[in-house]
Amino acid sequence: MSNSGKDSEHSDEKDAAEAADHHDHDHDHDENGEIQSHATANEIARSGLRSDVLVLVEAREHCHVYIPLSEDLPDTPDGERIEMEEELTFRPHLILNQDESIFAVAYSDPQLVDAMQSALGWTTSEGELKFVCVPTQVALDLAQAEIEGEVISGLVFNPGTDQELILQHDEVASIAQGTAIPLVGYVSSMSDSTEEETQVLEGAPPPPDALLNALEAAKTRHPDLMDVQVQTTFNPERDREPHLSITLTVIPRDSLDRQALADAIMEEAAPHLPAPGYADIVFRDAPN
């Protein structure tokens, strides 16, 4: 994710936060088994599942991240851990996307910055790129700030790497306040390993007649489609709110392209979906 660099000033008032040099790493766990490494918490949260995002929530105070600086911090010794007993003001690099949205950035390890530094030409006061090492909570606070009257759209951990985690503004706000929510941009791209937790909501409003009619008509156009069932469901690990699930009972042929069928059904259903405007497609094999 990224197209251009941007920088601005941020003021942090957290007491007793710490800065460190580029090679200082936390241990993964402490003596109580709590995750101490942001890299570990970040990797777990990339599943998008609520219980995994909770790991990032719990780690935000004691894990540290590195924020690249566009301007050097005066009177801050390089390579030494310092106690920030008063307000720390720093000017970080930010990412400006093609749609003009602005994202804050932070790294689990400063060595991960190489790709972005090369692409965007990041420097610190026109010299060697430097970082401020702060608790993860500080990066979350930064991503909720206003920059010259513009609200930051979110936060990217480890941008430009295969460890990238993109948090939208509402996700940042929730995690910063100590609440885990599913990261829908990630759970939607994973195989469903939590199907047993999906709850069918009894007493929910019935699906619109227009939707049911469209799905019934679809059965005549897809010979492998035996039956269609529509229910209102909620999976606390993957969902933020109840929504429709469309179960397709199909003949389990080797030649069946399930993804193509799902796309076709969703195209026909989409104009008739009630709020929140999306549905899950679930396959069920017909008995022999």
Q: Give the pLDDT of residue 85.
A: 54
User: Is 26 a residue whose pLDDT tops 70?
Assistant: no
pLDDT digit string (tens) for 172-191? Answer: 999 999 999 999 889 865 55
pLDDT digit string (tens) for 207-244? Answer: 999 999 999 999 999 999 999 999 999 988 988 999 99
pLDDT digit string (tens) for 42-60? Answer: 999 999 999 999 999 999 9
| Integer angstrom CA distances of residue 186 from 30, 55, 133, 221 | 28, 16, 27, 32
User: Is 154 a residue whose pLDDT tops 60?
Assistant: yes
CB contact at 8 A, 213 and 227: no
pLDDT digit string (tens) for 65-124? Answer: 999 999 988 766 554 444 545 566 788 999 988 888 999 999 999 999 999 998 999 999
User: Is 248 a residue whose pLDDT tops 60?
Assistant: yes
| Burial readout 168-188 (b: 16 or more C-beta within 10 A, e: otherwise) | bbebbbbbbeeebbbbeebbe
The per-residue pLDDT of the chain, averaged, comes to: 83
Share of the chain above pLDDT 70, in %: 80
- Section 192-198 average pLDDT: 67
User: Is 272 a residue whose pLDDT tops 70?
Assistant: yes
Domain ranges in the chain are 4-187, 195-285
Residue 262 and residue 225: Cα distance in Å, rounded?
Answer: 11
Q: Give the pLDDT of residue 48.
A: 94
Residue with tokens 């690099």: 93
- Section 126-144 average pLDDT: 91
| Burial readout 271-281 (b: 16 or more C-beta within 10 A, e: otherwise) | ebbeeeeebbb
CB contact at 8 A, 16 and 85: yes
pTM of the model: 0.74
DSSP letters, the chain, are --SEEEE--EEE--TTEEE--TT----SB-TT--B--HHHHHHHHTT--HHHHHHHHHHTTT-EEEEEESSPPTT--TT--EEE-S-EEE-BEEEE-TTS-EEEEEBSSGGGGHHHHHHHT--BTTBS-EEEEEEHHHHHHHTTSEETTEE--EEEESTTSTT-EEEEHHHHHHHHTT-----HHHHTTS--S-GGG-EE-TTPPPPPHHHHHHHHHHHHH-TTEEEEEEEEEE-TTT-SS-EEEEEEEE---TT--HHHHHHHHHHHHGGG--TT--EEEEEEEPP-
User: Is 3 a residue whose pLDDT tops 90?
Assistant: no
pLDDT top residue among 35 and 217: 217
What's the length of the chain? Answer: 288
Q: Give the pLDDT of residue 192.
A: 55
Residue with tokens 């003949």: 251
Share of the chain above pLDDT 90, in %: 55
pLDDT bracket for residue 19 (50, 70, 90) = very low
Residue 32 and residue 262: Cα distance in Å, rounded?
Answer: 46
Per CATH, the number for 195-285 is 3.30.300
